[in-house]
Structure 1
Amino acid sequence: MGNTIKEIHTDYDKIDTDQMIEVDRLMMEEYHIDLVQMMENAGRCLAILLKERFFDGDVEGKRIVVMAGSGGNGGGALVAARRLHNWGAKVQVFTTSAADDFTPVPKHQCSILERMGVSIALADKINEVGEIDAILDGIIGYSLHGDPRGSAASMIQWANARDVPVVALDTPSGLDLTSGKLYDPIVKATATLTLAMPKIGLFSEEARAIIGELYLGDISVPNELYQEKTLGLKPSNIFRYSDIVRLY
């Protein structure tokens, strides 16, 4: 494992979905750290994890499929796609909807990839993909409400039928990050990179079976933010040695 990833053995707080929504609000409204900055950090960590953990630090020529939803989770995956492309990977991006239907910041990320000439297609084209080396799952994050449907469901089923590493951003698509409930279909990940702080639902017995290895990525949340009255958490300096740490 590369030097950019560390395994930790320490106590740390876990948060639920409502607290993560509050973290995002505080970041933008009180600390003026924009969504595009958080997304950039998330995507960078995701790309590094894939490169270091599964390709010994070199993705040159590797065939990587990136599955992206229209929200923040998808935007982080699109950032990862840009970085992997820059490192020499052969990246193909598939989205749940057209770029015009994306929320503004992920739409901006999509436009960058288009300008770079990275392959982007709708989910219904994913069955045309040939041999690949890895998959990134950025379909659905903590905004999950019930069973994945439509193009999201079809991409999840496609990914589960491939015999390659699947790395999920924040959560495998189809997992409730608060309750740990598994919806159907759900991505069966080889590794999951959750963001900022560990989420309660990732530690349920059911969830562990589909998460794979669990990592935590730094999106630059200030330690002071966690002490805000609306959260009341204890900062643990968990990223002292690395932007990416392995939890289990």
Structure 2
Amino acid sequence: MRVVTAAEMRGLDRAAMEDYGIPGLVLMENAGLAVVRVVRELLGGGVAGKKVAVLAGKGNNGGDGLVAARHLFNAGAEVRVWLLARPEEIAGDAAVNLRIWRKMGREVHPVAGREDLEGLRAWLAGADLVVDAIFGTGFKGAAREPAAGVIEAVNAAGRPVVAVDVPSGLEADTGQVLGPCVRASCTVTFALPKVGLVLEPGRSYAGRLHVADISIPAFLLDQGPPGRYLTTREVVRRWLPPRPAWAHKGSCGRVLVVAGSRGMSGAACLAALGAARSGAGLVTLAVPRSVQEAAAAKLTEVMTAGLPETAQGTLAGEALEKIAALLDKADVLALGPGLTTHPETAALVRELLARVQVPCVVDADGLNALQGYPGIWRLLAAPAVITPHEGEMARLLGTASEDVRARRLAVAEEAAAHFKVVVLLKGPATLVSSPSGTTYINTTGNPGMATGGSGDVLTGVIAGLIAQGMDVFLAAAAGAYLHGLAGDLAAAKRGRRGLLAGDIAEMVPAAIRQVEEGGD
């Protein structure tokens, strides 16, 4: 499903009205009816006798709220409309719906000062539900009074809230919250999800997201240049390569994992396990010689290779030729987990990347070795996926982690275009961006996955999917989805707190099965 900015959505609305003759009042009516359907669902089906507060701003978002108010009133609800503007400020289609509401003999209650706000607080205390239609997708910055006080009153009331299009106080293009923001139980967004509803912190403020059809022609929603999309079960199912009846271990892909160091063998083992659990036919783990025995004992189903090492137990420069020989039999390279930043090992990483001829997935210390070497990307002879977290991305770009966090989507897209590699920026709603300008936003995963080794498993999963023949970009997006789903399954089984990376790896096959079979 495509994800759009506020400007892109305005363009779609305009095309529906101007090119296809769909009146704005029809779009607004459909939007309000979609809100009513979710209100009914949240209230258990019946709305008769229920007290509903509709908070309306002066724009089209407020007009959507007025449509919802009318239909809820007609269904028997006790509806009170609170208006955060003077009636004469309401224009266009919203003004039409305000006139209809008044002609029905219904009042609007202005919220302009302290006394009005106290009256709203008192009414909210007995309300069954709140419809938030104050601000729409054009909102930016921080809410000012009286809206700020209204939003705080709604959050303090603790009532179920249905937000119209976006929670008021949320920036639709970024997901940023710079002041008071409604914490919605559900958000009903129209036609397509907005970027800010699927990125944190916006995703947490939106609650359960409903994407409602308001009669914009469906083919319009898919038109346009490469854009942003949600990674869903349906698209991952289409991407996964089939497993034919005649498959054998050699036909299911060969992964070489170059990772680990003395004291950090766990990272290497988890990456290799992730590759094996994702369905790769043969996985070889290449580690420093002193680590090989422990790795072999831990990984029964993975082949191991011991490589020359430094005195500190990290990979030595002379390991390069042995790795090159192993790569002759590999379809993909996973590089980085647990390597450390030892200078000789870091130099090995750079030399290896300049020579590798198969797709590679670079993570952790593999990325740290590239800090300060911007020209390395031009030397890559094969497609690559890099999987930084915010700190690693900041080091690659020479900026601060806070800057990356504030601009996650833009940073991922800019880095992919600049480095000419697939960028997977880890975190809540993991982002996967291609050099061509397409981004997938992940929809799986949970906070329990914030545990050491989780990213190493992800590296292996992506490498395993590439080995099975997937395009590197789709493998990265699918890998993020399956990894997050495995984490969700593991959390459902064990709980989020105390979840281990090994628990996630164990559930990868179950995640793949769920996607392929369409189960819950």
Shorter-chain TM-score tier: 0.7 to 0.9
Matched, 1:61 2:56: no
1:191 aligned to which of 186, 193, 200: 186
Does residue 1:213 correspond to 2:204, yes or no? no
Matched, 1:30 2:26: no
Which residue of the partner structure matches residue 152 of structure 2?
Answer: 157
Unaligned runs of 5+ in 2: 235-442, 445-520
Q: Which residue of 2 aligns with 1:127?
A: 118
What SS does the aligned partner of 1:150 have? coil
Secondary structure in 2 matching 1:214:
strand
Deviation at 1:69, TM superposition (A): 0.5
| Residue 81 (structure 2) pairs with residue 93 (structure 1) | yes
Counterpart in 2 of 1:113? 101
CA shift, 1:33, in A, is 0.9
User: Quick check: 2:175–2:197 contact (8 Å CA) kept in 1?
Assistant: yes
Q: Structure 1: give runs of 5+ residues left out of the alignment.
A: 1-11, 239-246
Contact 2:69/2:81, CA 8 A, preserved across alignment: yes
Give the Cα separation in 2 of the matches to 1:104 and 1:208.
Answer: 31
1:20 is aligned to: 9
Matched, 1:171 2:160: no
Partner Cα separation in structure 1 for residue 189 and residue 30 of structure 2: 12
**Residues 65 and 94 of structure 1 are in contact (CA less than 8 Å); yes or no, is this contact kept in structure 2?**
yes
**Mapped contact 1:19–1:231 kept (Cα < 8 A):** no
Q: Does 1:145 align with 2:136?
A: no
Cα shift at 1:201:
1.3
- Count residues in correspondence: 226
The question of whether the paired residues in 1 share the 8 Å contact of 2:13 and 2:216 is answered with: no
Which residue type is aligned with residue 158 of structure 1? A
Structure 2 residue corresponding to 1:224, chosen from 197, 219, 226: 219
Q: For the Cα contact (< 8 Å) 1:226–1:232, is it kept in 2?
A: no
- Whether the aligned pair in 1 keeps the contact of 2:183 and 2:206 (CA below 8 Å) is yes
* 1:93 match: secondary structure: strand
Question: Per the alignment, in what secondary structure is the counterpart of residue 79 of structure 2?
Answer: strand
CA contact (8 A) 1:188 1:210 kept: yes
User: What's the CA shift for 1:99?
Assistant: 1.5
CA contact (8 A) 1:91 1:119 kept: no
Give the Cα–Cα distance (whole angstroms) in 2 for the partners of residues 202 and 229 of structure 1.
21
Q: State the AA in 2 paired with 1:217.
A: A
- Residues 126/83 of structure 1: CA separation in 2 closer, same or farther (3 Å cut): farther
Q: How far apart, in 2, do the equivalents of 1:79 and 1:120 lie?
A: 13
Task: Give CA-to-partner distance per residue, 1:99-157, whole Å, 9 cap, x none.
Answer: 21112211111111111122311014242143111100000001102111122222111
Residue 145 to residue 109, structure 1, CA distance change in 2 (3 Å):
same
Q: Decide which moves more: 152-161 or 225-234.
A: 225-234
Q: List 4+ stretches of structure 1 deviating above 6 A.
A: 230-234
Report if aligned partners of 1:74, 1:140 keep a CA contact under 8 Å in 2.
yes
Distance, in Å, in 2 between the alignment partners of 1:232 and 1:223 is 16
SS of the residue 2:48 aligns to:
coil
Considering only CA atoms, is the larger Rg found in Structure 1 or Structure 2? 2
The answer to whether the Cα contact below 8 Å between 1:65 and 1:93 also exists between their aligned partners in 2 is: yes
Task: Give the helix-richer structure, 1 or 2.
Answer: 2
**What CA distance in whole angstroms lies between the structure 1 residues aligned with 2:102 and 2:225?**
40
| 1:58 Cα deviation from its structure 2 partner | 0.6
CA distance in 2, matches of 1:56, 1:178: 32
Is the Cα–Cα contact under 8 Å of residues 86 and 110 in structure 2 kept in the other structure? yes
